[in-house]
Chains A and B, each alone.
Chain A
């Protein structure tokens, strides 16, 4: 589908999604029109374009279930009220869709412009799990942590995400087991 947009009062179009991706001034409130629409709407109303903007705004911090917003400050030229509903709801799965010219399992060479940020490898938590949980589950967590970056570097985003979530799972196993064990061991210490 081809889109027409208005940036700085200048109408541009027809543009493909790939071309839109290269336009820096694109925001949620940019007027957009495509064939079939009776009138102009905003970029926020078109998921395909909203996904591009959301991916830029979320930057580094999007795939981190733990921890704070460590990433660079999101670029929000029109204020929070436009971007909030998208910033939170956006998920990296959208990258599997064809508009990024990335078929299901990305086997294309590494292209940082088109890949979402690297998933967290949770290495800090994996190390803490090996120190304080005394459960061997910290070891697979570290092994999976080591697989995140190489998968990402060869362009296999889904592989990186998979290793990331497995590392996370083993860390949860280690901490849950540690928390269940702790009161038992304290009682046994009394005996």
Chain B
């Protein structure tokens, strides 16, 4: 069998190394944009009442006359940011599940490998399908009860 040649270690680099430039990645830019947009949205939704002003309206509701699972979210967000969770719940009850869930998913993501069981639970098929059926049942119920 062929033997490897004798290894001669390379000379260590002489003098101080130039500092490694911090690279601005697309991911960082995207994160910054989303973060700034989120802050802007919070300020906007806190200060202006969506039910009385020029805000985007739900296409599903305009086309079908029915409420979609997200209808009332803008008014609920306004109520929540003005310290009225009861009103927020009346505008869109499913946000009471979805907002904590989004927070939990972000926490799980930030924790990464430190919380493997949480991540496994939140990405399990049964859990996500339960969430999906909750959203669908909510949509049916709210249209029957007109809430």
Q: Do A and B come from one complex?
A: yes
**Is A77 an interface residue when CB atoms closer than 8 A count as contact?**
no
> Which residues of chain A are within 8 angstroms of B114 by Cβ–Cβ distance?
72
B98-134 interface mask toward A, CB cutoff 8 Å, 1 = contact, 0 = none?
1001100110011011100000101111001101100
B5 and A39 within 8 A (CB): yes
Task: Given A66-B27, A80-B20, A131-B73, check contact A60 B54 (CB 8 Å).
Answer: no
Q: Which of A80-132 contact B (CB under 8 A)?
A: 80-81, 84, 88, 118, 121, 123-124, 127-128, 130-132
**Set B1, B54, B132: member contacting A139, Cβ < 8 A:** B132
In the complex, the answer to whether B131 meets A142 with C-beta atoms within 8 Å is yes
Q: Does B105 lie within 8 Å of A124, measured CB to CB?
A: yes
Cβ-based interface call for B4 (8 A): yes
- Decide yes or no whether B30 CB sits under 8 A from chain A: yes
Closest to A134 in B: B58
Interface residues of B in 40-75 (CB under 8 A from A): 54-62, 68-71, 73-74
Complex-state Cα separation, A54 to B54, whole angstroms: 50
Per-residue CB contact flags for chain B residues 60-93 toward chain A (1 = under 8 Å, else 0) read 1110000011110110000000000000000000
Distance (Å) between the CB of A185 and the closest chain B CB? 4
B95 within 8 A of A: yes
Q: Are A130 and B57 in contact, CB atoms less than 8 angstroms apart?
A: no
Contact A185 B62 (CB under 8 A): yes
A142 with B128: CB separation less than 8 A: yes
User: Which residue from chain A places its CB closest to the CB of B103 in the assembled complex?
Assistant: A124
Question: Please, how many residues of chain B have a CB less than 8 angstroms from a CB on the other chain?
Answer: 52
Set of chain B residues within 8 Å of A148, measured between Cβ atoms: 123
Residues in A whose Cβ lies below 8 Å from that of B122: 123
The answer to whether A127 and B98 have CB atoms under 8 Å apart is yes
Kindly list chain A residues whose C-beta atoms are within 8 Å of the C-beta of B123. 118, 121, 123, 145, 148-149
Verify B129–A146 contact, CB threshold 8 A: yes
Stretch at the interface among A6-14, A17-25, A44-52: A6-14
Q: Do A190 and B54 touch across chains, with their CB atoms under 8 A apart?
A: yes
List the B residue with the shortest CB-CB distance to A181: B59
Decide if A170 is an interface residue (CB 8 Å cutoff): no
Q: Does B143 contact A (CB under 8 A)?
A: no
Report whether B110 and A124 are in contact in the complex, using a CB–CB cutoff of 8 Å: no
- Shortest C-beta distance, B13 to chain A (Å), equals 10
Q: A127-B102, A131-B95 are contacts. A146–B125 as well, Cβ < 8 Å?
A: yes
CB-CB < 8 A to B20: which residues of A? 79-81, 84
Docked CA distance A64–B106 (Å): 14
The reply to whether A67 and B27 contact each other, CB–CB distance below 8 Å, is: yes
Contact check: which of A33, A132, A136, A186 meets B54 at CB < 8 Å?
A186
The 3 closest A-B pairs by CB, nearest first: A146-B128, A182-B56, A185-B57
